[in-house]
Structure 1
Amino acid sequence: MKNSKLKNSLTALVLLFTLIGFSQDKNPNVVPLEVFYTKIKSQKKPQIIDARGADEFALNHINGAVNFNLQSENYAKHIASLDKSKPVFIYSIGAGRSVALEKELLKNGFKEAYSLEGGIANWIGNGKPFYANPDSYRDKSKLSLTEYNKIIADNNTVLVDIGSKYCAPCKKVKPILETIRAQYGSNLKIVEIELEDSPQVIADLKTINVFPTLLLYKKGKIIFKKEGISDLKNDLDVALN
């Protein structure tokens, strides 16, 4: 009986320290989309930083953002142009470069700095306003929302992979898709959508929080949604069967 009580006490302590560890690891400055958006809207002239590469920024970005990160040659000049007493809002393709910059700014005297959870995928993927370079999307072969909806309507089972060519995890999805394509053949229609080609489709879906995201449709309805690549092949097999 005593051994059982001791074991239970030790288990409870382990759980407590684990939870404490998780809470310490969570960065309070990485905020959800609506918090990020509301804070931006509360500022007359919000300081928004796109921490992606220049080529990514040129294709699409949040309205009013400036583009630099910790590796930029003109980093010091950009920092000097910011007001340390006012909030800074940072995003990237996910939460890598934005978090690194956010931490650096806070360490160097900035009052507030926030990183967007899910990055540009979350912003555009939930229909928030953004700039898209019109010269980059004039190719008529690119997917439109009308074409997207027709594909969903015309096929019984459709797997949609949504991501970006600049997203490292997204690249790991491609070989898994090839395996799935070979396994299910003509029984499954696979559609791949990238931010660089079809941002408006991603925005219009209003269901994307992170890259990569996979959506499985059956008879026109989403029956499975997968964010990230953890256990992707197994999860897809379960959903498809």
Structure 2
Amino acid sequence: MMIKTLFLTVMLSSLSLSASYAQENNDKFLLNKESFEVISKDNKSNVIDVRTAKEFSEGSIGEAKNIDFLKEDFIDQMKQFDKQEPIYIFCKSGKRSAKAKQALVNEGFLQVYELDGGYTKWIEE
């Protein structure tokens, strides 16, 4: 019984640390407006607006490229970028970009930075 309790305690502690690390690591790739603006200016070619073409036509950030996350060929279009280089993404509010970021990480992209609050927050401030 003691071994089971010890094992369970170790497993729960490990899961807690993993969740904590994942959140900390996720926060590292979530940038506020100021950070996104500064960093993305140096990496113009890797700034991606994942909104629809209609949303993109209503305004975007700097020289962002429009690659719609909702289209089936999103991942295929993203393959033009080096997976080792940082990618900076945003959408309207942050929901699509969070999903896009996860899809890119699953495809092997190592540094996918996301604008916290999306374009809506960008134009508000």
**What TM-score do the two structures reach when normalised by structure 2?**
0.71
Equivalent residues of 2:104, 2:112 under 8 A apart: yes
1:162-202 Cα shifts (integer Å, max 9, x gaps): xxxxxxxxxxxxxxxxxxxxxxxxxxxxxxxxxxxxxxxxx
Aligned to 1:61, what secondary structure does the other structure show?
A: coil
Quick one: percent identity of the two aligned structures? Answer: 28
Residue 83 (structure 1) aligned with residue 59 (structure 2): no
Give the SS at the match of 2:54.
helix
- The Cα of 1:21 is off from its aligned counterpart by 6.2
Aligned residues: 107
Superposition RMSD in Å: 2.4
Q: Which runs of 5+ in 1 are unaligned?
A: 1-16, 127-241
Report the Cα offset of residue 22 of structure 1.
Answer: 7.1
Give, in whole Å, the separation in 2 of the partners of 1:50 and 1:66. 6
Task: Please tell me whether the aligned partners of residues 95 and 116 of structure 1 are also in contact (alpha carbons under 8 angstroms).
Answer: yes
Counterpart residue number, 1:179:
none
Q: Which runs of 4+ in 1 moved over 6 A?
A: 20-23
Q: How does 1:189-204 map to 2 (within 5 A)?
A: none
Larger RCO (CA within 8 A; separation ≥ 6): 2
Is the 8 Å Cα contact of residues 49 and 89 (structure 2) preserved in structure 1? yes
SS at match of 1:114: strand
Once the two structures are TM-superposed, the CA of residue 116 in structure 1 deviates from its matched residue by 0.4
Task: Check whether the contact 1:91–1:115 (CA below 8 A) recurs between aligned residues.
Answer: yes
1:104 & 1:73 partners in 2: Cα distance? 12
The corresponding residue for 1:95 is 94
Indicate the residue corresponding to 2:111 in structure 1. Answer: 112
**Structure showing greater Rg:** 1
Corresponding residue for residue 62 of structure 2: 63
Name the structure where strand makes up a greater proportion of residues: 1
CA distance in 2, matches of 1:104, 1:76: 8
Q: Is the 8 A contact 1:50 1:57 kept in 2?
A: yes
Q: 1:106, 1:76 → 2: CA distance?
A: 11
Q: Specify which structure has the higher proportion of helix.
A: 2
**TM-score normalised by length of structure 1:** 0.40
Q: Which runs of 5+ in 2 are unaligned?
A: 1-15
